[in-house]
Amino acid sequence: MEHVPHWNLESIYPDIDSEAFLADLAAVKTLSGEIQAIVGGCKDLRAFKEWFVQLLETSQRAIDTFETLMAYANAKLTVNTSDEKAMRGLNKAEEVALGIKAAYVQILNALATHKEAVRSLVKKEPELNQYSCIIEEMLEEQRHLMSESEESLAADLNRSGTDSWGRLQEAVSSTSDTVWDEETNERKTVIQLRSMAFDPDRSVREKAFQKELAIWKLHEVSFAYSINGVKGTTITLDRRRGYRDPLERSAMQSRISESVLNALIGSIEKYLPMFRKYLAAKAKLIGVPKLAFFDLFAPVGALHKKYSFDDARSFIVEKFTAFHKPLGDFAESAFDKQWIDAESRPGKVGGAYCTSFPLRKESRILCNFDHSFDGVSTIAHELGHAYHAKVTDSLPALLRQYPMTLAETASIFSQFIIFKGALESATGDERLALIEGFLQDSTQVCVDILSRFYFEKELFAKRAEGDLMPGELCSMMVNAQKRAYGEALDEQYLHPYMWAVKGHYYSSNFSFYNYPYAFGQLFGLGVYTLAQGNDDFGKHYDELLRSTGMDNAQNVGATVGCKIDESAFWEQSLELIGSYVDEFCQLCEAKE
């Protein structure tokens, strides 16, 4: 049997209870105290530059240390969720985070107190110019702060308040199960039921869907209280901080303007008929008048090829290298250095993610490789994230904090390279399956994300007036799905409990954790389109990635000619998706 690798974390820390890990925990506490001392030590404006540089360096050292601790503890825990030692390490890291958060509030207030001196210094000193956008962003954030004591209280209460509501949603949704087979008394968790949406047998998909809905129905009151608690807290805190509404804060966190968001959403809405054309063709192909919600992931075509892990490695490195040699070299190195934990095993979380360790300038990738093309594509996606981290690892911490809107650029780009590479030799059912997989993903991040965006806007508007009952939440969700999917889905089989399914609704720190996915997909495809026929694009690509944490999204996009405040930019990406819709429809017709 082929060996599927586990990652090696020894270069990060020897262990969670090692002297090195414990020393860095202590260092974060010390650095938090140093920051507070520095903040209060600006007495002589003649030494202002020294004060400012010391504040920057100390705070960024604290950020790098804290992020490395958190990433390591989380990495240990996610490959063994019963690892009590890792859980204790994560809790300790979260505790020292409170000091960092308190210090950050003090930093913002100190910058605001001396804002004209700070602006003048950053403008005058060449080595500080790169911080200009970040400083302005921090000053804007300070305008929305409550008092230091209120911010400290809010951060502390979040751990037992909104964070706990979120953990309740996660715990219930990850452990709930039901009887699947009455004769054998076989049980399936809601996670297993949702994965059956990919089953080729429609009766199995429908049975799993109905049983899933029954589980959500059983726990709907718990979820309703949770989402009301999270959104109510968010509304209160955002109002106290002076935001017009949670969407304003979300756009600020995403570093986009209202005009950019409107251009993105408006473009997707304009192209909804294109997505509905694809869904109608799929319905006809699988022999139903209209797709039910449980048909969205129904497999079509056939991908018979099974990839060994070495096959996946060779394919990814080959395709990455053909586009941009440094990307291929990086992927090769990540495989060589055992940065990827690919084996699925008991106690390991599902899904995939990439995490970075700033102090070590390294990344790690977790996935559950299943030898399919999707498994290869997932590794490529996460390697894109790791490459993004590599390109930016020489920058100071404050210039590496890119928003989620731009965080998916390299991953989407890398995934599309692999998709295009697989299409080169694909014919017949294999080609049909590859294209349908791409369109399936695109529909999720454009159409389904749009329904979630509609729902969350209405949720905030109505929650401001009072608590919402489960029936109201379900009705709002169904209406949002009707608005996004239109006539393409059977209205008798929509998913009224998607508000309970998606954990993204249960965070008070990041509202509207939906449209950034659409932004990332369409921005990544737009960048890919610009790369075609440009032999020198690799260098510009690296410059783009390097700049993602240094400016707002509009200025970052402009570095490679992306005008993201104009609908035309988004529409060219949607046209690219449309070209595959047309080919999919042709392939479907050929099978009739």
Question: Is the residue at 263 inside a domain?
Answer: no
- Find all residues with CB under 8 Å of 514, minimum gap 6, and list them: 449, 452, 453, 456, 504
Please tell me what DSSP assigns to residue 87.
H
Last residue of one domain, picked from the residues 381, 402, 423: 423
Residue that the structure tokens 């004769």 belong to: 183
Q: What is the CATH number of the domain that holds 392?
A: 3.40.390.10
Q: pLDDT (tens digit, 9 = 90+) per residue, 218-231?
A: 999 999 999 999 99
Instruction: Bin 290: left if φ > 0, else alpha if -120 < ψ < 50, else beta.
Output: beta
Identify whether the C-beta of residue 418 lies closer than 8 Å to the C-beta of residue 315.
yes
pLDDT per residue over 559-581, tens digit each? 888 999 999 999 999 999 999 99
Structure tokens at 117: 């001196």
Summarize pLDDT for 248-289 with one digit per residue, the tens: 999 999 999 999 999 999 999 999 999 999 999 999 999 999
- Residue 1 has a pLDDT of 53
Would residue 565 count as lying in a domain? no
- Report the b/e string of 70-82 with b at 16+ CB within 10 A: bbbbbbbbbbbee
> Distance between CA 280 and CA 268 in Å, rounded?
18
Q: What is the mean pLDDT of the chain?
A: 94
Amino acid symbol at 156 = D
Number of compact structural domains in the chain: 2
25 within some domain? yes
How many whole angstroms separate alpha carbon 103 and alpha carbon 105? 5
Cα radius of gyration rounded to whole Å, the chain? 24
Quick check: 354 pLDDT over 90? yes
Query: What is the spatial distance between Cα 37 and Cα 313, in angstroms, rounded to a whole number?
Result: 50
* Per-residue pLDDT at 40: 83
Answer with the one of 423, 456, 479 that is the final residue of a domain. Answer: 423
pLDDT on residue 222: 96
CA distance 471 to 452: 17
CA pair distance 255, 404, nearest whole angstrom: 9
Number of Cβ within a 10 Å radius of residue 160: 9
Q: What is the pLDDT of residue 96?
A: 92
Per-residue pLDDT band for 536 (boundaries 50, 70, 90) equals confident
Q: Is residue 468 part of a domain?
A: no
Q: How far is CA 249 from CA 81, 166, 510, in A?
A: 33, 20, 9
Query: pLDDT, tens digit, for every residue of 28-58?
Result: 999 999 999 999 887 777 789 999 999 999 9
Average pLDDT over residues 301-319: 94
Per the document, the length of the chain is 592
Strand-strand pairing, 177-181 and 362-366: unpaired
Looking at 160, 176, 198, the residue that finishes a domain is: 160
Report the CATH number at residue 46: 1.20.140.70
Measured N-to-C along each axis, helices 48-78 and 84-113 cross at an angle, to the nearest 10 degrees, of 160
Answer whether residue 387 is part of any domain: yes
Q: What does the pLDDT look like over 76-112, one tens digit per residue?
A: 999 998 899 999 999 999 999 889 988 999 999 999 9
Closest by alpha carbon to 365, among 354, 379, 356?
A: 354
Dig out the tokens for 61 from the structure: 């050292």
Question: How far apart are the C-alpha atoms of 66 and 95, rounded to whole Å?
Answer: 11
| Phi (first) and psi of residue 185, to 5 degrees | 65, 25
Cβ 83 vs Cβ 76: under 8 Å? yes
Report the pLDDT value the prediction gives residue 75, as an integer from 0 to 100. Answer: 96
Are 323 and 538 within 8 A, CB to CB?
A: yes
Q: What are the structure tokens assigned to 366, written together?
A: 């977790």
Question: What is the average pLDDT across 240-252?
Answer: 96
- Residue 169 CA to residue 192 CA, distance in Å, equals 17
DSSP string, 520-553: HHHHHHHHHHHHTT-TTHHHHHHHHHHHTTTS-H
- Amino acid 379 reads I
Residues near 58 by beta carbon (within 8 Å), at least 6 away in sequence = 31, 34, 35, 38
Residue 122 belongs to what H/E stretch? helix 115-124
Residue 241: is it exposed, middle or buried by C-beta count within 10 angstroms (0-12/13-18/19+)? Answer: middle
Percent of the chain with pLDDT over 70: 100
Residue 480 near residue 498, CB atoms below 8 Å:
no
Average pLDDT over residues 521-548: 89
313 burial via Cβ count (<10 Å: 0-12, 13-18, 19+) = buried
Give the strand order in the sheet containing 353-357. 340-341, 362-366, 353-357
Range of the domain at 128: 19-160
Is 20 within 8 Å of 88 (Cβ atoms)? no
* Position 200 in a domain: no
The predicted pLDDT at position 364 comes to: 99
Does residue 56 belong to any structural domain of this protein?
Answer: yes
